[in-house]
Structure 1
Amino acid sequence: MRNALTVDVEDWYMTSDFSFDPSTWDQYEDRVVANTMELVNLFAHYRVKGTFFILGCVAERHPELVEEIARQGHEVASHGGWHQMINTMSLDQFRADLLYSKRILEGITGKPVRLFRAPSWSITPDRYEALKILAEEGFHCDSSLQPFRTPLSGVAGAPHTPFLPILNDEQLELLEFPPTVMKKAGVTVPFCGGFYLRSLPTWFLIYALRQVNRERSGLIYVHPWEVDPQQPRLPASPLIQFIHYYNLNSTKKKLERLLQRFEFTTMGEIIASRGDYPPIALPALAGGR
């Protein structure tokens, strides 16, 4: 069973943990190229391809990085323009941000960009119309609906397997591919990336993905800054310090263990390997935010 290997390409100071205004980003050390190449080289060592969801602003600043990702056979996808939470933007702002990233990425690679992931899984029920905009602008797949709630985002009750969203009785021409969770006794257990991957023991990550693979392909995700224990430490609340910096020195080792034990490929390859995704109505607003 093959699983989707995905990377959200953003720098350490661009995250929703700190929520710095983009106008201040030039004050911080740029580490995204070295950290992303750490992952590119790791994937090359294990001869696997992945899907890189790249911020438009990162691509514009470092076109050579996007070129190298594409040259090595990885799939280039959009992570939006400036890592802004979709549920804090108007729909017009979202469309402009989306098209900025699409234009930059396609201009570098010369290929259509068809996959999207919202920063911090931030398409919530009051921004479902963003999915319709994605379909209108030529995207074939979204990976933004986190099927559980956190203080930041997520959609309680959303399907935990890929599906075709129905919005206001209209089936969208878009596949939704949520982050993978393990379902046990009615409990949703996130494990597949980010803080969950860093905080959970390796044996549990292997166990959970094996459980998922009994029925379907899974998806894992990582950020380049998560393989960078030497990144600057900034003053923040104890909670933010914990969420952002905890166990950074474990990320690469855990990824290697997963790469050694499971088969991985791009999200596009996973999608193409199956053609019968079910249409499912999106959960109502009351079931989400």
Structure 2
Amino acid sequence: MTLKTTLIDVEALAALVPDDVLIVDCRFDLMAPGSGQRDVGKGERDYREGHIPGAVYASLDADLSDLSRKAEGLGRHPLPLEQAFSEVLSRWGWREGTQIVCYDAASGSLAAARLWWLLRLAGIRSVAVLDGGYPAWVNAGKTVEAGDVHRAARPVSLHFDAGQYIVDHASLRNDPKRVLLDARAVPRYRGEVEPIDPVGGHVPGALNRPFSENLREDGRFKPADVLRREFEAALGSHAAPDVVHMCGSGVTACHNLLAMEHAGLSGSRLYAPSWSGWVSDAGRPVAKGAEPG
């Protein structure tokens, strides 16, 4: 079996032998997440009503983030610690070499892209996002099942390669080569509206590439060659390893990371605290409007 490392389509997923794949449902509603680490939000309720057969559930808040660390200035969705994420993979019964496929709803595969990136951070490359998400599976007439899925736990011990994949507050300000790419919608980037964070605007010098521009009207990603041309046009003379992605809390930025990798533009990194982490320090500068040029 040829392992998928960015995207996988419905037919390719349906053809996989169940024992050879770990499927993870990442559906999550940012406006109805549940109020605590293990409270059930809309995404988990939707999962229990119907999901791809064999899929386990991943909560953005409880499994793919550590909300207890928000007070450290790490943004609204701080990254989980290595041990905690290892325990999540253990609970899912992951074993090395297994193809992982993650998916969510039609809102752009945002939480699924976050899981994809976290797994790469942990050195796991055999992970792909289902192109078009759960709606693509359902619209293709594929089987679904209800209830919870429990897999036999296995011992897992992961380590994050932070230096290769993550940029923190200090290195963001001290790297003259980097170019920031902000995945938020244009009005939020420009500071015209800000529905979540206390301050609107963007990091001075950051460019804007809304993650929605990676998608076709049906919710699937644009072809790799199209994405490559669009990102190269947006980045100008900057090479992929110079790019640092950000968004509101480090989730939608992973969508741009995934799109670039799918387009063959490898080596970009994530400013994980993103805008919510940047504005946690009132002394950091804020820009509004469009960047010149």
Common fold, TM-score beyond 0.5? no
Q: TM-score, normalised by structure 1?
A: 0.31
Higher RCO structure, 1 or 2 (CA under 8 Å, sep 6+) = 1
Structure with higher helix content? 1
In terms of fraction of residues, the more strand-rich structure is 1
